[in-house]
């Protein structure tokens, strides 16, 4: 069953996209749905994009729920280890 629940967030960063070219990332879209490529019934799908550059300026992730939770834990741990003066 699909929830159609979609979360969006503004981003400020970079991603390496098709052809190995870096591009600015301005938007994130996160939703739990059927994957296009991953071998799972449902995945947490994360799209990082710069819509102003067209559909090619996009990086997509399809993660199992447990992998997505592991990623969240790893991100939180990495940020917690950064000295306060370096976080902006």
Per-residue model confidence as pLDDT tens digits over 9-51: 999 999 998 788 899 999 999 999 998 999 999 999 999 999 9
Q: Evaluate whether residue 88 is within a structural domain.
A: no
Q: Evaluate whether residue 38 is within a structural domain.
A: yes
DSSP the chain: -----EEEEEEEEEEE-GGG-EEEEEEEEEEEE--SSSSSS-EEEEEEE-GGG-TTSEEEEEE-HHHHHHHHHHHHHHHHTS-GGG--
Share of the chain above pLDDT 90, in %: 77
Q: Evaluate whether residue 1 is within a structural domain.
A: no
Provide the pLDDT for residue 72.
97
Provide the pLDDT for residue 1.
67
Full residue range of the structural domain in which residue 46 is found = 6-83
| Whether the predicted pLDDT of 4 surpasses 80 | no
């Amino acid at each position: 069953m699909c929830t159609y629940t979609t979360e969006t967030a503004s981003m400020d960063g970079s991603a390496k996209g098709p052809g190995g070219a870096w591009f600015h990332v301005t938007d994130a879209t996160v939703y739990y749905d059927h994957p296009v490529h991953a071998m799972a019934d449902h995945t947490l799908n994360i799209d990082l994009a710069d819509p102003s550059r067209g559909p090619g300026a996009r990086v997509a992730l399809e993660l199992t729920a447990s992998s997505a939770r592991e990623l969240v834990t790893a991100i939180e741990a990495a940020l917690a280890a950064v000295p306060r003066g370096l976080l902006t």
